Structure 1
């Protein structure tokens, strides 16, 4: 039997109606209904109770649904294994823009040199929630994100990486004190901030709330999803921004920017590498994870620990 019939039954129970199931499966309502009817005729049992406002499984339907979930899970595992048998290895990576700009080039260079047989390497920049969903949906093989908290990561195989440090940056022409600042010393300036969904924006909002302030207390706020544009604007003396120190370290070293810490602020956020728990033994993912780890521990006495599932 083709698994599309089981998928249709499962979707009809999840959505409670043939019309919504058909919409999500991109088929007609009649086709969805006919597929379930085919199953009922095949098994000689009514699988769905159609008398109420929503479709609910009968006792027989519940048995078929349990088996369907197992069959579809096995099919998905089989498809993943078959993909890996194709000529040339493939790897799809998702990461947050900060990690991508500051660290991904070095990681990729190391990884490609060690894995010359990788025929297709794709990397995408997304915000944390989008990266998590992408790995859940198997759109990406692996992801690296910075985050303040991410309870949804508990279902993945994860490895904690060194924390990411965020600082306010300004141009020397603004002549801000280099010591720890009070938030009031920054509020009269223009703030270049990220869009909602970015963990640096989340951390900034939390920090401001902790000292009784909000983002609207800055003189003006410019929201941009372009990190380079924000940094260039600050370099030109246009205001301040709360960014990862790793993104601007070369400007700080050259004296083109100044870094500032604020009293009462948390300046660290977590950074995690993760992928599907069922692929913990995948050597390609383990190799990439090792390259990421080595980038952060170069010259340090540290040993890569195999990825474990978070408890």
Structure 2
């Protein structure tokens, strides 16, 4: 039996319709129907309940899908192992800018000292949405991302890292008190903001919306795509910014910047490693996760 038939049943169970399964698999609806019929004849039982508007797997169908997912994973691992025989391991990684600026140099230093001769490495910085999209399109094998909501990416394992803490930061020349500050005091300053697709910006917008306010209430808003440029602008007294404490750790410790919190604001977001399930046990991936673990105790995978 061709494993494409099992994959067809898996996809059908996910989308609940012959037409949607056909679209996802880039085959005809008739081909989907024929493959399911072949599987039902082969196993001698009904796998799909066709009585309702939404197609549902029968108890037997769910059992076949459970085993099919294991078979498909083994097939993918086998194909990957054969491809990598005698070759350097390809490892394509992306991360969101906060992790990239705050922690990546230390992680990469450890990783390259162990695997420089054995790994063909590609690395990119992307926003959360683009990172997840390109993971699903097989552009990357793993990503380190910050995100506000719990997430699930089919075909990938999620490994939790310690959460990322965000604060408002400003130069002492602005005269804002360190620690807790009234939101109205911040509104008198220029906001050095990230793009709307950045999760720090999303969290800021969410916090402001809960107060019935928006970024438009700041004296002015300057959108900066580069984290380091945002930090330099704040250091020069150009305004306040809501960003990861890790990005400004050195400047906060030296007193070049002050940290501010607003009562009632949510100031933490999740940080996770998202890795292809089929590559979770690859030596290069395990090594990279170990290098991250040296700086962050890895949490549970899901």
Structure-2 change in CA distance of 1:224 and 1:36 (3 Å): farther
Q: Quote the Cα distance in structure 2 between the aligned partners of 1:58 and 1:275.
A: 31
Describe the SS at the equivalent of 1:261: strand
Structure-2 change in CA distance of 1:228 and 1:57 (3 Å): same
Q: Quote the Cα distance in structure 1 between the aligned partners of 2:12 and 2:195.
A: 37
Unaligned runs of 5+ in 2: none
After TM superposition, the structure 1 = structure 2 runs for residues 1-311 of structure 1, keeping only pairs within 5 Å, are 1-40=1-40, 42=42, 47-48=47-48, 52-57=52-57, 64-83=64-83, 85=85, 87-128=87-128, 140-147=140-147, 150=150, 152=152, 156=157, 158=159, 160-161=161-162, 164-170=164-170, 175-177=174-176, 179-180=178-179, 181-196=181-196, 198-205=198-205, 207-208=207-208, 213-231=213-231, 233-234=233-234, 237-248=237-248, 258-264=257-263, 269=269, 271-273=271-273, 275=275, 282-294=282-294, 296=295, 307=298, 309=300
Q: TM-score, normalised by structure 1?
A: 0.71
Q: Quote the Cα distance in structure 2 between the aligned partners of 1:159 and 1:55.
A: 34
Structure-2 change in CA distance of 1:14 and 1:271 (3 Å): closer
Q: Which residue of 2 aligns with 1:300?
A: none
CA contact (8 A) 1:261 1:267 kept: no
- What's the C-alpha RMSD, in Å, of the aligned pairs? 4.2
Aligned residues between the structures: 298
CA contact (8 A) 1:192 1:239 kept: yes
Deviations 1:196-222 (A, max 9, x none): 453323443455467775444323434
Q: Quote the Cα distance in structure 1 between the aligned partners of 2:52 and 2:137.
A: 32
CA contact (8 A) 1:89 1:118 kept: yes
Q: TM-score, normalised by structure 2?
A: 0.73
Describe the SS at the equivalent of 2:176: coil
CA contact (8 A) 1:166 1:244 kept: yes
Unaligned runs of 5+ in 1: 297-303
Q: Quote the Cα distance in structure 1 between the aligned partners of 2:63 and 2:102.
A: 51
Structure-2 change in CA distance of 1:72 and 1:201 (3 Å): same
